[in-house]
Amino acid sequence: MTKIAGALLAAIAATAFFTGCGRNQTGPGAYNMPPPEVSVVTLAPESVALTTELPGRIDPVRVAQVRARVDGIVLHRNFREGADVTNGEVLYEIDPAPYKAALDSANANLTQAQHLVERYQPLVGINAVSKQDYDNAVSAAAQAKAAQEIAAVNFGYCTVSAPISGHIGAALVTEGALVSQSGATEMALVTQLDPIYCDFTESSTELSRLRRELESGVLKSAAPGEAKVTLLLDDGTTYPQPGKLLFSDVTVDPGSGMVTLRAEFPNPDHLLLPGMFARGLLEQAVDTKAITVPQRSVGVGANGIASVMVVGTDGKVEARVIKINQAVGNKWVVTDGLKAGESVIVEGLQKAMPGMTVKPVPFNPAGGNASASPAAAQGN
C-alpha cells in the first residue's frame, strides 16, 4: 500500500508540474498552446506556357472519289476493302472489249490517212495532185490522230486506278455491275490518313483578348508556325504524336462568332479517323511573370469564388479571394489576389483559421522533412 500511495503522489506531482509550465502567466487559469505548424509555398514569378483547350473534329488531308469514266460491266475488283492502296494501284477492271475494238479501228483509220498523205506529198510538188486534195488528206490524218487518241484514252479508262495513296473503304460496286460515264458511278472512296488535320474553333472574343495582352507586353508571343498542339481523345487519353498549327482563319463565322484553327498531326497507325471529335491543347502565348499556386491550396466555393489562406509576416492567417485563369500541371495560374513573396498554406489548412497565429514551414511535396529544403517553398 505504501508503494501504491507513493506512485500516485509522484503522478500527481508530475501533472501539476507540467500544468504549471503551460499556464499563461498573464491571466489566471489561462493556457498558452504553441502555434500550429503549417506548410507553405512562397510565391515567385515563373515562365508559364498558356494553353487553350479547344473542341475540334478530325478531317482528312485529301479525299478522292473513284468514279467510272466509261460505260461498261465490271469484270474484276482487285483490292481488299479497308486496306491501304497506293497511287496508281489498279482497283477495278471494266470490260475493255468494245473499247479495244474502237481503238483498233482508230489505229487503222490513222494508218490509212497517214499513208495517203505520204503518197500525195511528192505528187503535189509536180502538180499531179491538187494542193486542195493534199490539204484535205493532211486534215483527215489529223482528225484520225485525234480519234485514235480518244479511243486510247477510253480504253485506258477501263482500268480504274487509285488517284491517291491512302485508305480505301468499302467497294461500292461489285463484279457484274453496270457502271456509267454519264452517271459518274461512284465505285470507291480513298482517304489520305497520314498526315491528318484537326480543325478547332475558338471564340473571336478570346482571340481578341489574347492579341491585346500580346500587344501590351503582358504575354510573350508563341510563333503560330511553331506552336505545339496536343490532342486529347474522346476516351480521355492523350494522342502520342504532337501536332503543329498550320493557319488561323482570317474570317469569323457570322453565325457562331468562332474562328477556325487547323493543326496537322502525324497518323502512321491510323488511330485518328475522319469525323472523330477531339480536344486540342494549343500553346498560344507565354506568361514570363506568372504567379502560380498548387491546386491543393485553392478552395472553390459553391459560388465559384476561389480563395487561399495566406500567412502574413506576423505569422497570422488571412483568407484571400483570388482569380484563377487555367491549370498548368498541378498548379493554378493566378491573375489577381496574390503577388510574389507571399506565403500560401498548402498543408495544415484544417488547423488554420483566419486571424490565428501559425508557424509556417516550407512545403515539401516529397513528404520528407519540410524544413530541410527551403527551395521547396518556391512553388513546387
Give the total number of structural domains in the chain: 1
What stretch of H or E contains 21? helix 2-22
User: Do the beta carbons of residue 107 and residue 148 sit within 8 Å?
Assistant: yes
- Residue 372: pLDDT above 80? no
Q: For residue 16, is it within any domain?
A: no
Q: For residue 110, is it within any domain?
A: yes
144-148 long-range contacts, CB within 8 A, separation 24+:
144/106, 144/109, 144/110, 144/112, 144/113, 144/114, 145/110, 145/113, 147/106, 147/109, 147/110, 148/103, 148/106, 148/107, 148/109, 148/110
- Residue 153: pLDDT above 50? yes
- Residue 368: pLDDT above 70? no
- pTM listed for this prediction: 0.62
Q: Which three cell numbers stand for residue 8?
A: 500516485
Q: For residue 103, is it within any domain?
A: yes
- Average pLDDT of the segment spanning 176-197: 93
User: In one letter, which amino acid is 87?
Assistant: N
Q: For residue 111, is it within any domain?
A: yes
Phi then psi dihedrals of residue 64, to 5 deg: -120, 125
d(CA 374, CA 380): 11
Per-residue pLDDT band at 191 (split at 50, 70, 90)? very high
| CATH number of the domain enclosing 127 | 1.10.287.470
Q: For residue 240, is it within any domain?
A: no
Q: What is the DSSP string of 199-233?
A: EEEEEHHHHHHHHHHHHHTSSEE--GGG-EEEEE-
- Residue 46: pLDDT above 60? yes
Q: For residue 108, is it within any domain?
A: yes
Q: For residue 225, is it within any domain?
A: no
**What are the distances in angstroms from CA 191 to CA 79, 112, 162, 260?**
15, 46, 10, 22
User: Do the beta carbons of residue 190 and residue 197 sit within 8 Å?
Assistant: no
Question: pLDDT of 200-254, one tens digit each?
Answer: 888 877 777 766 765 665 545 555 545 678 899 888 889 998 888 776 666 777 8
> Residue 121 belongs to what domain range?
96-157
d(CA 88, CA 155): 16
Q: For residue 369, is it within any domain?
A: no
